[in-house]
Amino acid sequence: MQPVEISLPISSLDKTIRVDISKTSSGDVKLKFKNRYSFRGLSHLVWTWELSSNRSANAVANGSIDVLGRVNATESVTIHLDGAIGSIHNFEKSTKGWNSYYLNIRGSLRTATVWAESGHTLVTEQFPVEFVFDEETMVGKKSSVFDADSQNTLSVSQDDSKITVFRHIRSDVRPHVEICKKTGTILSVMSPSGTNLLSPGTSLAPNYSRAATDNDSGGMELIIAFNYPGSGLEKLWMKLFGVSTCSYQFRWKMVGVDQGKPPQFGCKGTNILEVTDKYVEIEAIVSVTRDGNKDMELIQQKIVYHIFIDGRVRMSNHVIPRAVLKDCVSLARVGVSLALNKSLYKVQYFGRGPFENYEDRKAAAHMGVYEATPKDMSYHYIFPSENGNRSDCEWVALRATSGEGICFCAHDEEESGKRPPFHFSALLHSATEYHHAKHTCDLEHRENGEHPIYVNLDHKLMGVAGDVRYVVLPCATSRVTARLL
C-alpha cells in the first residue's frame, strides 16, 4: 500500500542483503526505488537510512539518500556503509555469532500538507543484513553470558512439596530457585538482593489459552443463536454438520483449553538428574488435564530445568498433545506465563515493534531494540481480548528502577546454532481479566509499579485473525533461558 516500492536488485525470498567486506573497508548496498505515483515524482519526500543491530537501541550508522523518483520510474540507489564497518568489526570480534543487523529505510514528508505535518512517514522498509568477514575478523569467540566466580557453588534440598536450589556465594547461602513438586513449575526466582522476581503466590507455568478475540468467538453457532435466540437450532446445526463450522473458542471450550476455564496442571514426577558445583539439572513430567481429571489428559509436557551458578535458569519444554485435541484444529498458543514482581516495569526487548504485532499482522513492525512499560505495551480494544504481543523476539529484559531484574533469551538450537524467536507480552491485566471483561471500562485502571506484571513467553501464538497457518498442534520443543540482572 506504500507509494514507493523498495526492493533488492536481485529478488530474494528473505529480503536479506549480503555485504562482502572481507577484501575492502567499505560496504555498498544497492536498492531499487520504484515510484508508484501516477502523477508526481518523489521530491516531496525526505529519505533517510539507518543500520540497526540487536546490541543497542542506538543506530550503528545512519545517513540520507537522494531519490529523484520520476513518475512510474524505477531508480537504483547506492547506500554507503563505510562508517559502520569499524563498529561491526568490534561487535564480531567480541561476540561472534550473536549479532544481527538490519537496514531501515524511511521516506517522510518534506513539508506539511493539509492532512499531515512535515516529517510524517509515508514509506518504511527493512532488510536483514549479513556481513561476510575475513578470517582475521572472525577470531572472536562466542562467549558465555558471564563467567562464574570459582568460589561460588550450588546445592539442593527437597521436601514433600518443593525442590530448592541454593547459591553459595562465598560464605553466604541464598535460595535461588524453588520448583513445586505438585505442578512441576517454578515458584520463585530470587534476585542477588534476595527479592523474589515472581509475584508472590504465582508460578512460571505452561500456557495454552488466551483471552478470546472477536475472531476466536465468531462461528456459525454464534450466528444461529443470535438470529434465532432460544431455538436450539445451533445444536441441530452442529449435529448435522459437525463442529468444523464452529468458532475456535467453542472448540477450545469443548476440549477444555478455553481461557474461561483453563486446563489444570499436575506433576507426574520430578527428578534431580544431576548436581554439580556449577549447575543443577531437574526434570519434571507435567500432565495438562481438563478440570484436573487425570483421565482427561490433554497434553503431556516434559520440562527440564538447568540452573546455573552464574544466575541463569534454562527451561526446555517438550510438548506432546493428545488425540483428544483433534477437534480443536489448533491451540491458541504454546508457551509459558508468569506474574512478575510489580517493580520490574522497565521493559527492553529485541524483536518487532514498537507497536503490538502478531504472526498475521507484523509486516509493518520492524526488528529493533525497543524500550517500553507494561502500560505502554497494552492495547485497549473496545472489546477486551488478547493484545500487546511482540513477535520474533530474541531477548526481553524487565528491570526495576534499581537496575535489578531478569532477562529472557531464546536459547541456541544445538544443530543450527541460531536463536529461534519467540513471542512476548507484558501487561497489567491477566488473560482471565481480559477474557471476562465485556468493555474496557470493566477493567480496573492500573499504573506501572502498582500491580504485578503478567508476562507471556510463547513458542507459537495464533494470529488475531485466527489464521490456522500460524497455529500449532504437532509436537513442539522450545528453550528459553532466564538470567538475573
Q: pLDDT band at 133, cuts 50/70/90?
A: confident
Domain co-membership, 294 together with 165: yes
What is the C-alpha separation between 379 and 382, in angstroms, rounded?
10
pTM for the model: 0.89
What is the C-alpha separation between 288 and 265, in angstroms, rounded?
5
Q: Above 90 in pLDDT, residue 219?
A: no
Grid cell for residue 442? 470493566
Structural domain harbouring 10? 4-139
What is the C-alpha separation between 307 and 477, in angstroms, rounded?
19
Domain co-membership, 271 together with 122: no
Domain co-membership, 243 together with 273: no
pLDDT at res. 92: 75
- Residue 473 placed within a domain: yes
pLDDT at res. 171: 78
What is the C-alpha separation between 438 and 356, in angstroms, rounded?
21
What contacts 149, CB < 8 A, 6 or more positions away?
A: 169, 170
Domain co-membership, 223 together with 199: no
Q: Above 80 in pLDDT, residue 271?
A: yes
Domain co-membership, 29 together with 109: yes
What is the C-alpha separation between 399 and 345, in angstroms, rounded?
6
What is the C-alpha separation between 58 and 348, in angstroms, rounded?
13
- Residue 147 placed within a domain: no
What is the C-alpha separation between 274 and 283, in angstroms, rounded?
10
Nearest to 53 by CA among 390, 345, 410, 394: 394
pLDDT at res. 64: 93
Domain co-membership, 399 together with 442: yes
Grid cell for residue 300? 503431556
pLDDT at res. 258: 93
pLDDT at res. 143: 46
Grid cell for residue 414? 544445538
Please provide residue 11's backbone torsions phi and psi, each rounded to the nearest 5 degrees: -60, 140
Domain co-membership, 86 together with 185: no
Which stretch of 46-55, 109-118, 472-481 has the lowest confidence by average pLDDT?
472-481
User: If you average pLDDT over every residue of the chain, what do you get?
Assistant: 87
Domain co-membership, 45 together with 117: yes
Tens digit of each residue's pLDDT (9 = 90 or more) over 297-329: 999 999 999 999 989 999 999 999 998 888 787
Strand order across the 121-132 sheet: 17-20, 121-132, 101-109, 45-53, 61-65
Domain co-membership, 97 together with 193: no
- Among 139, 168, 201, residue at a domain's last position: 139
pLDDT at res. 117: 97
Contact call for residues 326 and 340 (beta carbons, < 8 A): no
- Residue 148 placed within a domain: no
Give the residue-averaged pLDDT of 245-273: 90
H or E stretch covering 215: helix 214-217
- Residue 25 placed within a domain: yes
Domain co-membership, 392 together with 446: yes
- Residue 389 placed within a domain: yes
- Residue 41 placed within a domain: yes
H or E stretch covering 149: none
pLDDT at res. 81: 85
What is the bridge-based pairing of β-strands 121-132 and 17-20? parallel
What is the C-alpha separation between 108 and 122, in angstroms, rounded?
6
Strand order across the 279-289 sheet: 264-275, 279-289, 297-308, 312-321, 476-484, 405-410, 395-399, 346-353, 366-372
Q: pLDDT band at 482, cuts 50/70/90?
A: low
What contacts 167, CB < 8 A, 6 or more positions away?
A: 152, 153, 154, 173, 174, 175, 176, 309
- Among 139, 173, 196, residue at a domain's last position: 139
What is the C-alpha separation between 299 and 339, in angstroms, rounded?
23
Give the residue-averaged pLDDT of 43-50: 94
Give how many domains the chain has, as a whole number. 3
Residue 287 identity: S
- Residue 451 placed within a domain: yes
- Among 139, 170, 188, residue at a domain's last position: 139
What is the C-alpha separation between 232 and 190, in angstroms, rounded?
54
What contacts 172, CB < 8 A, 6 or more positions away?
A: none
Q: Which has more confidence, 122 or 413?
A: 122
Give the residue-averaged pLDDT of 4-21: 84
Please provide residue 100's backbone torsions phi and psi, each rounded to the nearest 5 degrees: -140, 150
Please provide residue 240's backbone torsions phi and psi, each rounded to the nearest 5 degrees: -80, -40
Domain co-membership, 131 together with 269: no
The CATH number covering residue 377 comes to 2.70.98.10
The CATH number covering residue 68 comes to 2.60.40.10
Give the residue-averaged pLDDT of 190-195: 89
Domain co-membership, 168 together with 274: yes
CA atoms within a 13 Å half-sphere pointing along the CA-CB vector of 437: 20
- Residue 300 placed within a domain: yes
pLDDT over 70 for what percent of the chain? 88
By residue count, the chain amounts to 485
Q: Which residues pair with 104 in a beta bridge?
A: 50, 126
Tens digit of each residue's pLDDT (9 = 90 or more) over 340-358: 999 999 999 999 999 999 9
